[in-house]
Structure formats: structure tokens, C-alpha cells
Structure 1
Amino acid sequence: MKAPSSYFDPADLTEDDDATRPYNLKSRMARGVNKLPLARRIHRLGLRVASYFHRLQWKLTFAYTLFTAGTILILAVVALALLWYLNFQSNLYPNAVADAMSKGVPPLADFLEQNPPDQAGLQRWLDDAIKANYLIMNVPKDKTGQDAETRVPGFFGEVELAAIVDTDGHVLAVNADDEAIVLNEALPGHLSPQAASVLEAALRGETDVAQLATRGEGSLTAAAPIWGRDNQVVGAMLFTTPAFPISESEFLQNVLQQMILPFAGIMLVVGVVVGALFGFLIARGLTRRLRNLSEAADAWSEGNFHVLAQDNGGDELSRLAGHLNHMAIQLQNLLQTRQELAGLEERNRLARELHDSVKQQVFATAMQVGAAKALIDRQPEQVKPHLQEAEHLVREAQQELTTLILELRPAALEGQGLARALNHYVTDWSRQTKIKADVRISGERPLPLPTEQTLFRVAQEALANIARHSRAATVEIYLGWEADEIRLVISDNGCGFNVSQVNGKGVGLQSMRERIEVLGGQFFVKSQPGVGTQVIAQIVNPEKRSTS
């Protein structure tokens, strides 16, 4: 038989191929494997990758990664907003300037307490204080003999106004080029209302820095009182500069480029890696615990209640595992109790069967044998009918015992399979009861022994009920393996009955229902007087249950 074209055939090689036979073999096999179009292979790869993200472990990992990245980005935005607020909206910065000025102006008291004040010395001090675009306050040497200086934090750019005034607000020293500001004349008339308020607070001797600084439209103003030797205010210094040397947009751009983006970028990469690793480890532990619960549930669905869910985490999952284990133990006890009750009911039923049939037949046989014994000497010709009747009764008793034996030891236990055993049993039952029976089997597949035994017992009980009560002429039995379930349907054309009147009272019906429900199935009875009866048993396909 010629090999299919999709397989490699060594006979296809020619003599010229001998030198490169290994290479040709590999290349041809590779071509055979890669016959799928590239787009389809990419599609399959995409589906395979996407399938991983359908798993809880990867969903949690992805969530941790996104949470970490989002947190870092939010922190970066918050940091940017905080810097913008502190530099453009908050009074924290002006207050710091006022505090630094208050610490730096005490040396000016020596110039102001002279009579008249030393304006030239004040001007020199002021010019030195604002050189190099920094506000530097030179103060006396500290106890160590080193020069001490207080530098107002921050870069101010060009100083708009720096002035020293006396207690009347007259200008004694100023750095401004504004010709409107004249020495020895009042300064408040040249100031904005906010700046004038700050200067007045300083001249009153205010020490609260919140009253000594303000942020106006595009400018920052701070003032500091100058205290004399007798703790009296002898003057004040006023300082005005642009609120920030650059615009808000330039500030945000510089902070983003020089601080936020480099730092946030590094933190984002590190955070994503750490977040993904942390999420993977946490999710793996969680999914492992859930897998333990799932495996235990699978074992319980197969009737193995000896398997318990092991979880010692001490959290909600651990408590759930404990509740499930308790439920499994209760189910095991319930099933054991039901099995014991079913066995007890089965023994009671067999006792009734033996009492109602075999015992009566044996008793009648004994009566016939006794009659024959009494007539054998006096009327021998009358003995034969009694012996024939006794023989008939013995055969009936034998048939009854054979039926009971088959019920106790189903043919399915002898390795025949459910379908074949059911066919044999129905054939024997039909011959004994003289009721026509038709069996239909659909989609037969192997079943676990407990499932076969349960369905066989239900069929036995249903046929026994038909023989005793239905007065039916024909019976139809359907056994089908469907996609999701195994279905057994037994229908007769007998007298029928009112289901609502016997529901829960009939031992046989209750026994069948309990057998099916033990396997997680469903049991139904449909009947009407004069119409007939239909018994339906449905059990979930064991293959479907094991894969779900």
C-alpha cells in the first residue's frame, strides 16, 4: 500500500541523494511538519498564549503586575503635583524665606541704632546679601569662631526688591532701580496691598512667619523685623522676588525630564519585575491550594470520600477546606446509612418474595404430597394427579428461586457488560412472565461496575413491578449512552397508576430513586391510570464527570 503523501517515504530518495540522505531526511521531515501556513501557526501560538491568561494563576500575576505599575505611576503623579503645589501654591516656601530672613537680619540693628542710622553700611550689607543670585545673610561668627551664614533655600533669579526701612517705613537702603523709590521716603506707597501688609506686620514686631510672608500674583514677598538691644523694633527688611524663576509649564517639564521620568522609569521596570515575580509566587500558592480542593472534590464525585482536602493556611480557604471535609464525612455517613437501609429493604423484600411465592408453593407442594401419600394405599389411581401438581409447584418454586438468585447476583458481575446482561435478563423475564419485551441499545460504551450494577438493579426492580402490578402486554426498554448522560427508559402499556398517590410510599420506587441519586443521577416516574407507566433513570456520564 502506498504511503500517504503527507508522510516521508524513504523509497522516494534517488541514488544521487545517497550522499545527502541524512540532510534530505531532516529537511523533508521539517517540510512535512511546517506545512501549516504561517498565519495559522501564529494564530495557534496566540491561542496557546491566550489560554495561559485564562488560568487563575496568570490572571493574579497580571493583576499584581498592573497594580504595581499603576501604583508607581500614581506615586510619580502625586510627587509631581506635590512639587508643583509647594512651589506655586503653598505658603510653605515663602514662610521659609521669612524665617531665614528673621535669623539673618540681627546684625542690621547696629547700623539702625546709630544716630543718624548708617545708611552707607546698610547699603553695603544689602548689596552683599543678594550677590550671585542668592540671598545670603551674613551673621556674626558663632562660638567656634567660624563664619556662619544663613542661606534662603531655593533659586530666586532676579531680585525685584530688597529694602531696609526704619520704624516709620522710610527707605534707608534699597537695591531697586525704580526711580520712584527714593531714600528717606516712605516705601509702603510703592507696594502692593499684600506686600504692604507684610511690611506693617514686621514693623509691629510680628514673629509669626505666616504673617511675615505672602505669595502674590507672580511674586513672593517676605519681611523680617529688626530688633534693637532693648528688644524694640528699630526697623525691618523687605524682600520681593518672582514666585518662581520659571513658568509653571517649564517647571513641570524640567521636573518630569530631570527627576520624575528617570526615577519613575527605573522604579517602573524594577516594580514590574518584582510585582510579576511576587504575583506569580502568591498566585502559585493560591492555585495549588485550590487545586487540592478540586482534586478532593473530584474524588468525592467518584464516591471516594476517604480523600480529604489538606489545607493548613489558617485563612478563609483553610476554613472552606474544613467545611468541605466535614461535608464529605457527612456524605459518607449518609451514603453508608442509605446502603445499610437499602440492604435492609432488600432483605425485607426478599423475605416477602419468599413468603408470598416460594413458601406458599412449598406449602402447596407438601399438601399435594400428603394427599398422594394418603391415597397411595386406598386409591392408587388418584395419586398421579397430586404428584403432577406437586411437580408443577416445585418447578414454579424453582423458577421463583432462579429469579431471586439472578437479582442477587446480576449477570453484569460476570463480565458480560450491561447491554448484554440486560438483554439476557429481559429475555428470561419475558419467557417467564409471557410479556413481550423489546430492548434497544444505543451508543454502548464501557461503564464503571457500580454504574452498571445500579442501572441493572433499577431495570430488575422496574420489570418486577411490571410483572406484579401492571397487567401489561408489551414492554419497551431503552438503554442509551448520550453525550452527557446514560439514560435508561422502561415503558409498559399496563394499567398505570396515579403517581401522586404512591409517591414516596412504594418501597420499590423509593429504592430505585435512592440507587440513582447515590450516583448523582435523576429518577422519574410517569404514569396515568389506563395509559401505562414509564420509568426514567438518568446518570451523568462518568467520562464527562471526570473531565469537568
Structure 2
Amino acid sequence: MSLFKRFSKLHWKLAVSYVGVTLLTVLALEAAISLAVILFGTPIGNALATQSALQQARQLAELVAVPLEDGSSAQVGHVLEQHQYTAAAFFIFEGSGQDAEWALWLSVSEVVIGSEGNVVASNQPSHYRPGAPSSEPGLPEAEELVADVLAGGGEGTRVAREPSVTAAVVPIANSGGERLGALYYRQPALGGPTTLADSALSLLATTLVALPCLVPLGFVFGFVTAKSFTRRLRRLADASSALEGGDLTSRVGESSADEIGQLARQFDRMAEQIEADTAQLQELADRNARLARRSRRLAALEERHRLARDLHDGVKQHLFGVNLAAAAALNELDSDPQAARARLVEAAEHSRQAQAEMEALLNELRPAGLDKRGLVAALADHVAAFERAENIAVEWQPPETADLRLPLTHKQALFRVAQQALANVARHAQARSVRVQLSARADAVTLVVSDDGQGFDSSAAESGPTMGLRGMRERLETLGGTLAIDTTPGAGTCLTARLPRPNLADEEGTSA
């Protein structure tokens, strides 16, 4: 099996699609989180940083108010040392090789400023020298806040983008509300855009690093999960192939409640129904075969009975007449030669009629020349013989062409139907005339036998003991034909037999 065919199987496709969907979902979530952090993290980070700076500044202002009122700058410095607050970023970058100015912005600055605007104490005395005027080079916003508070304004905060810091200035007042100075507090803006973007990129990079480990694990999980599905589907496909091949006992035997289990149980129910229907059809076929054999036996028995009646009513009576006439001629030969001669003529006539009826019976058993001369000629001879024997006028209407190109089975069936129909006319119809018409089209051949006799009840006749009409119908239906009877008591009878013409290219022995 080629590599392409192997990986085109369903369980491989499901495993790969599982991994692909998982990767796309993880990456989409990472991208959404990163975008949300970049878009919405800055305002949130600024608000948190501002609140944190104000809280720290207020706390320090309360702590330094008493020593500042006492004029003890040393005590103020001691309070700042005791506060011991340094931002996390300072510890991250401390000793990392950054220059002093950048390191300054990454640290926390706590500066106590007197009412005159000079520095009283700070946590970074090297940068904010005690006694020197308060200044914050590079951050004019902070200087404005200090000046505003010393001038009697309220507390304030600023968030600067460059450098990325948060500054807060709050007034220092004694217990009587007298303003003693201002406390300047500055910390790195840890929630700034650069830091947030770096965090998002760091999260994305971590995910990409973990993907080489996650992909194989996801692929194995997807493959195992898909394998169970394809195994169950394969059992269903095998059962379907077995059912298609004729194994009606094939079943899936799936008990799961999911969609595949429901499909498998539906297949099992369908297979059981097909098996039951097939068994029923087989039983019907066997029954029909038995009925067909019985019908053929009854038809043969009816044919023998008919021949026996014909021999008894016809040939035997004529032979009896020959015997009587010959005996009478012997008795009258000496006394009345003329009467004896008449008796011999009568015996000769009986003998001729017996011979004609025997010839007709032989033709019924096997119509003379049907396979050589054709159906049209055989029917013409039989109609002429019927007219002579029964003294009933017959109108014979042959088809336009004598070349019907029918198989021998079809010709025999139509001839036997015509024989039986004419025999029924002679026995039961009490008709004065009969019309026999044979017509042919491209798709079928039709035989019509109609008389002006007394008619009959067709339903009662077909359900009665006679096999005549039933035998004709079964003979035609065997070849795909039909038999229609139009009759009412007192209005004559019209019998129509129709046989479809078979594909001549597939038939042998076809002729007229």
C-alpha cells in the first residue's frame, strides 16, 4: 500500500484533523488573549498603577508628617528607610548592565519636599540631594504636580509614556490641617504598553515552544480515538458487503448509543427484515412451483379426458356405424343386392368420417407442419377442417404478412388456444358462425375468436371444474401473454389472446 493510500484512510484523516483543529484553536486563543492584553491592558494597567502610587504616597505622607513638623530631617529619612519599598522591576533589572539613568527610572523614588520647595529627605539621596530644590529632569509632569500641591492644590497623579513611570504627589499636613510640604512618589509603569506587549509575545513564544511536545501527544490521542470509530465503521461495511454477497445472516451487533450504534442497529433490523422477506418469497416460489406442476398435471389429465371423449363420441361411433352397416350388407347381400350396396356405401362414409376425425385428433396432438409451414398455414387448415366437421360457418382473417417470425413455443401456444376456443364453440356455443382473426404488430401477436352463440358466465366457467379456459390462460401467461374474454349469456363470446413478440436476435427456430 502506498504512503498516500495509507494516509488517505479515515482514521488518519480524523487524527490529522484533530491535531489541526487543536493547533488552530490554541493559536487563535493565544492571538485573542494577546490582542486583548495589548488593546485593553494599557488602560487597566494605568489605572492600577495610579491607584497603587496614590496609596503608597498617602501612606508615606502620614508616616513623615510628625517628624517633618518637628523639623527632624534625619527622622524623616529614617521613616523612608523603614518603608523599604522597591518595585519588582528594579530587582529584575538590577545589575543587568543597564545605564544609571535607565536604572533610575526602573526604581521607586520617595521624596519628602518642604513647603519652600527644597528636598528634606529621599530614598535616593544621590539623586535627590537634601536641601536642594526639588526637580525631576526628564519628567516635567512631576514638577508641575509638586508645584501645584505646594501652591495649595490637591493630590495628583501622572502616567508618563517616556519614560514609562507613574508619579503621584500628595500634600503633607499635620494633625491641625496645616500643610507642611509634599510627598513625591514615583514607580515604574509595570502595566505600560511595552511591558504588556512583551508579556503577550512571551506567552505566544511559550506556546510555540510547547507545540513540538503537544503535537505528537495530540496526534496519538486523535489517532487512537479515530481508530475506534473506523473499526466500528469497518464492521458495518463488512456486514454490508456480506449482505450484498447473499449472506442474509450477517449482523453488526453494535450496542453503543451513539450515531454509529444507531446506524448499526438500523442495519441489523433491515437485514432481519430482508432475511424474513426472502424466506417468505422462497416459500411462495416453492408453493407456486407446486401449483404449476399440479396445474400441468391437471391440464394433461383434462387433455386426455378430452381426447377420450372425442374418440368415444366421434371415431368410436363411426367405427360402430361401419360395423353395423357391414353386418346389414352381409344379411341383405343375397336377398336384396341393391340394399346391400346402399349399406356398403354407408359403411364407406362412416369409415371416411372416422378417418377425418382421427386425422383431426392427430393434428391436435401435434399440428402437422406447424414448425415447417408456419402458424398461419396451420390455422388455415384447422379452420377449414373445423368448418367441414362441425358444419359451422368460419370467417378466417389471416394477418397481412405470413412471416410472423415467432418461436415454436409461441406458435404452439396460439395454435392450442385456437383449437380449444373452436372446440368450446362446437361443444357449448350453439353458434351459427365463428370469426377467427390473427393480427401482428411490432411488439405483439393477437388472436381473436368470436362467435354468435349463446354466451356464458365467464367467472363461473373459470372457477368451475373445466380446465379449458384456465389452461388457455396459463399457457399464455407462461410466455408473458394475456387472455381476455368478453361474453354475456345470450350475446355470444369474444376471446382475445395476446402474446408479446420476443427479441428475435435472442431466439432460435423462428418462422411464420
TM-score, normalised to structure 2, is 0.50
RMSD: 5.8
Q: 1:375 to 1:255 in 2, by over 3 A?
A: closer
User: Once the two structures are superposed, what CA deviation does each residue of 1:420-443 show, in whole Å capped at 9, x if it has no partner?
Assistant: xxxxxxxxxxxxxx9666xxxxxx
Tell me what 2:464 maps to.
none
For the pair 1:49 / 2:3, whether they are aligned, the reply is: yes
User: Once the two structures are superposed, what CA deviation does each residue of 1:504-542 show, in whole Å capped at 9, x if it has no partner?
Assistant: xx977999xxxxxxxxxxxxxxxxx999666999xxxxx
- Distance in 1, matches of 2:187 and 2:166, equals 7
Tell me what 2:18 maps to.
64
User: Once the two structures are superposed, what CA deviation does each residue of 1:317-363 show, in whole Å capped at 9, x if it has no partner?
Assistant: 111222222233333344444455555666666666666x6355223
SS of alignment partner, residue 88 of structure 2: coil
Tell me what 2:52 maps to.
99
| 2:303 aligned to which of 353, 358, 361 | 361
Tell me what 1:543 maps to.
none
Distance apart, 1:246 and its partner CA = 10
For the pair 1:322 / 2:265, whether they are aligned, the reply is: yes
Q: 1:54 to 1:102 in 2, by over 3 A?
A: same
AA at the equivalent of 2:166: T
AA at the equivalent of 1:113: V
- Distance in 1, matches of 2:480 and 2:159, equals 91
Tell me what 2:165 maps to.
220
| 2:214 aligned to which of 253, 262, 271 | 271
- Distance in 2, matches of 1:386 and 1:290, equals 76
Q: What pairs up with 1:424-443 in 2 under 5 angstroms?
A: none
SS of alignment partner, residue 116 of structure 1: helix
Tell me what 2:241 maps to.
298
AA at the equivalent of 2:104: E
- Distance in 2, matches of 1:56 and 1:359, equals 67
AA at the equivalent of 1:276: F
Distance apart, 1:68 and its partner CA = 3.3
For the pair 1:239 / 2:182, whether they are aligned, the reply is: no
Tell me what 1:89 maps to.
42
CA contact (8 A) 1:221 1:238 kept: no
- Distance in 2, matches of 1:109 and 1:225, equals 10
CA contact (8 A) 1:94 1:215 kept: no
- Distance in 1, matches of 2:47 and 2:297, equals 109
| 1:159 aligned to which of 82, 93, 105 | 105
Distance apart, 1:495 and its partner CA = 4.4
- Distance in 2, matches of 1:290 and 1:534, equals 46
| 1:113 aligned to which of 52, 62, 66 | 66
CA contact (8 A) 2:146 2:169 kept: no
- Distance in 2, matches of 1:218 and 1:535, equals 104
Q: 1:507 to 1:289 in 2, by over 3 A?
A: farther
- Distance in 1, matches of 2:72 and 2:136, equals 15
SS of alignment partner, residue 89 of structure 2: coil
- Distance in 1, matches of 2:174 and 2:74, equals 18
Q: 1:114 to 1:346 in 2, by over 3 A?
A: same
Distance apart, 1:284 and its partner CA = 0.8
Mean Cα deviation higher: 308-317 or 324-333: 324-333
Distance apart, 1:268 and its partner CA = 1.1
Q: What pairs up with 1:126-137 in 2 under 5 angstroms?
A: none
- Distance in 1, matches of 2:154 and 2:166, equals 17
Distance apart, 1:298 and its partner CA = 1.4
Q: What pairs up with 1:144-155 in 2 under 5 angstroms?
A: 149-155=84-90
Distance apart, 1:287 and its partner CA = 0.7
Distance apart, 1:224 and its partner CA = 7.4
- Distance in 2, matches of 1:360 and 1:335, equals 35
Distance apart, 1:278 and its partner CA = 0.8
Tell me what 1:450 maps to.
none
SS of alignment partner, residue 185 of structure 2: strand
| Contiguous gaps of at least 5 residues in structure 2 | 94-102, 324-350, 368-403, 417-439, 446-475, 482-497, 507-512
AA at the equivalent of 1:99: S
* Percentage of pairs with the same residue: 18
AA at the equivalent of 2:19: T
CA contact (8 A) 2:253 2:264 kept: yes
Q: 1:92 to 1:351 in 2, by over 3 A?
A: same
- Distance in 2, matches of 1:249 and 1:109, equals 32
CA contact (8 A) 1:223 1:238 kept: yes
- Distance in 2, matches of 1:264 and 1:106, equals 41
- Distance in 2, matches of 1:349 and 1:376, equals 38
For the pair 1:311 / 2:254, whether they are aligned, the reply is: yes
AA at the equivalent of 1:331: I
Q: 1:310 to 1:213 in 2, by over 3 A?
A: farther
Tell me what 1:280 maps to.
223
Tell me what 1:191 maps to.
141
CA contact (8 A) 1:111 1:117 kept: no
User: Once the two structures are superposed, what CA deviation does each residue of 1:101-159 show, in whole Å capped at 9, x if it has no partner?
Assistant: 73586465343224635473477359x76xxxxxxxx34xxxxxxxxx55433348323
SS of alignment partner, residue 168 of structure 2: strand
Higher alpha-carbon Rg = 2
TM-score, normalised to structure 1, is 0.47
CA contact (8 A) 1:213 1:221 kept: yes
CA contact (8 A) 1:165 1:237 kept: yes
- Distance in 2, matches of 1:306 and 1:250, equals 68
SS of alignment partner, residue 253 of structure 2: coil
Q: 1:535 to 1:309 in 2, by over 3 A?
A: farther
AA at the equivalent of 1:269: P
Distance apart, 1:315 and its partner CA = 0.7
Q: 1:328 to 1:531 in 2, by over 3 A?
A: closer
Distance apart, 1:178 and its partner CA = 9.2
- Distance in 1, matches of 2:302 and 2:363, equals 13
Q: 1:74 to 1:495 in 2, by over 3 A?
A: closer
CA contact (8 A) 1:495 1:530 kept: no
Tell me what 2:322 maps to.
379
CA contact (8 A) 2:159 2:166 kept: yes
Q: 1:530 to 1:152 in 2, by over 3 A?
A: same
| 1:496 aligned to which of 443, 448, 452 | 443
AA at the equivalent of 1:66: G
- Distance in 1, matches of 2:120 and 2:192, equals 31
Q: 1:116 to 1:350 in 2, by over 3 A?
A: same
- Distance in 1, matches of 2:146 and 2:74, equals 25
AA at the equivalent of 1:92: G
AA at the equivalent of 1:223: A
- Distance in 1, matches of 2:13 and 2:148, equals 60
- Distance in 1, matches of 2:147 and 2:225, equals 61
Q: 1:107 to 1:245 in 2, by over 3 A?
A: closer
Tell me what 1:15 maps to.
none
